Amino acid sequence: MRDRDHGLSFWNGGTGFGRLRDAAVFSEAEAARVNLPIADDEPEWLAMPAPLA
């Protein structure tokens, strides 16, 4: 989710929107079944980058 004051926020079922380091990670199949939370801005899915070697 994009926040005007804080930039991007990421979803975590335990704490709500927050930092990327705390974000929940979903497979494509899980993402297709999840209802995104209601927020001030329309939440969007982002692809995770490949792991660093």
**For 1-53, what is each residue's pLDDT tens digit?**
877 787 888 888 898 888 888 988 888 899 889 887 776 767 778 887 777 76
Torsion angle in degrees (nearest 10) through CA of 7, 8, 13, 16: 10
User: According to the model, what pLDDT value does residue 48 have?
Assistant: 78
Q: Where are the beta strands (DSSP E) in 1-53?
A: 2-3, 7-8, 10-12, 16-18
By the 8 A CB rule, do 6 and 44 touch?
Answer: no
Could you tell me the pTM of the whole model?
A: 0.65
Phi, psi at residue 39, to the nearest 5°?
Answer: -145, 175
